[in-house]
A = this chain, B = another copy of it.
């Protein structure tokens, strides 16, 4: 994951932030264990750095979200699950046990039900971005600063 590390390094530097061992470790853990929640990430990170704290995990997760490196998911549970971000990202989420399967982008629901032995009951789609008002506001802020 050296490329990720490099990219991280520079976006952090751009924001006047440092690439600390904790941040590097946490990014690695998230990359290796997609869909983990904060407690799970803490547990995994402590195997390699036992004194790391929960606050650092949450702080780092938020930072990585802001840098658009990591993405938080609400999968019907009260806490979030985290994973390295991709532009198009499709999931099969079981409503009963919470299992999450990743999917390649183009798909056909019926074929997919057969292939993954999964019964689809609901399709949820969100297109996330900026509305016209906020695009103008963001532009104004950029000019001011």
A→B interface (CB under 8 Å) = 74-76, 87-97, 99, 101, 103, 109, 112, 116-135, 137-138
Contacts and interface: CB of A to CB of B under 8 A. Distances in A.
A71 to B, nearest CB: 8
A96 B130 contact: yes
A15 B36 CA distance: 35
A135 B97 CA distance: 10
Contacts of A91: 125-127
A93 to B, nearest CB: 5
A35 to B, nearest CB: 12
A34 to B, nearest CB: 15
Contact of A122 (B103, B128, B137): B128
